[in-house]
Amino acid sequence: MQTASSRDTIPYRLAAVDLDGTLLGPNKQIGPANLAAVQRLQRAGVHVIVASGRRHQNSIRFQRQLGLHGPIIACQGGLIRDGESGEIIEAHLLEPETAAELVGLGDARGIDVIYYHLDHLYVGPLATEFRTLYERRVGEPTEVIGDLKILEGRDALKIVWYGPPDALASWRDELTKRFAGRVDVLSTEQENLEFMPPGVNKASAVAKIAEQYGIPCAQVMTFGDGENDVSMLKWAGLGVAMAHGNAVAKAAAKFISPPGPAEADFARAVDAIFARCTA
């Protein structure tokens, strides 16, 4: 990877970066090349923030590892919260009746329902291999409660169903129609369906932070690899998709990282952007 110099310049002031599949490699860790790329952006005067589908509490460790400060975008834009103080800048919750309906419907279909509460990560008593897969991917345990219905849909940032890919794919159109205007339905892994408050996404969250910092859209970069990154890849002045990423993410991006090992896609993208700016 290229070494940053004191002459590094770039016409961007804010970079919002996804975690899984972007900053994190297949081993769910930040590799040295990606860490160096974040530091290079910072030295060039770019404010770097994490923009993840993970919980805020799960994302803090990566923010600290990267040496970043300030807000974290969590739950696909459902929550913006300061990484140091814990202050909530903005939170968007599902309507309680809608969240409760999604819980009941998922239970009826035998799906592991994961309840992203504002401060907790709940699941019901049903335990399948898909819950184990989820916990392994995100690197944190869920909190089991006897019946998710006792939450009555309260404080739900999003609801996630984890289960057989074929079943979830076959239900997606039906669920999109059934909950039209009440939730946005997306999939970040073939084993999940995610249900978000309508219109709440990473783009709306990045736009909120850019406005607070007084940074115009044209000076914002976003980096991602999946369906939940599409909104911010389209919105930003420069949306950058990872070479190994989802086809819809690459179609939404203005730039795609050069090919190579997945664990350093982000670093190659940053090097290529600096090279373009220098040229």
CATH number for the domain harbouring residue 261 = 3.40.50.1000
* Residue that is last in its domain, among 196, 222, 239: 196
Based on the fold, state whether residues 228 and 171 are members of the same structural domain.
no
**Domain residues for 259?**
14-91+200-278
Mean predicted lDDT score pLDDT of the chain = 95
Q: Residue range 58-68: average pLDDT?
A: 96
Domain assignment present for residue 237? The answer is yes
pLDDT at 1 over 90: no
pLDDT at site 275: 94
Give the pLDDT band of residue 7 (cuts 50, 70, 90).
low
Residue 2 DSSP class: P
Based on the fold, state whether residues 191 and 206 are members of the same structural domain.
no
Give how many domains the chain has, as a whole number: 2
Based on the fold, state whether residues 233 and 155 are members of the same structural domain.
no
Based on the fold, state whether residues 190 and 262 are members of the same structural domain.
no
What token pair was written down for 90? 């903005």
pLDDT at site 154: 96
Based on the fold, state whether residues 126 and 187 are members of the same structural domain.
yes
Q: Residue range 239-266: average pLDDT?
A: 97
pLDDT at 239 over 80: yes
Task: Determine the 3-state secondary structure of 125 from DSSP.
Answer: coil
Residue 225 DSSP class: -
pLDDT at site 127: 78
Give the pLDDT band of residue 279 (cuts 50, 70, 90).
confident
Tens of pLDDT along 114-131? 999 999 999 998 878 999
DSSP-H helix ranges across the chain: 32-43, 56-66, 96-108, 129-138, 165-178, 202-213, 230-235, 247-252, 265-278
What token pair was written down for 118? 């504002």
pLDDT at site 228: 96
Could you give the CA distance from residue 123 to residue 47 in angstroms, rounded to a whole number? 35
Based on the fold, state whether residues 102 and 190 are members of the same structural domain.
yes
* Distance of alpha carbon 144 from the chain centroid: 24
The pTM for the full model equals: 0.94
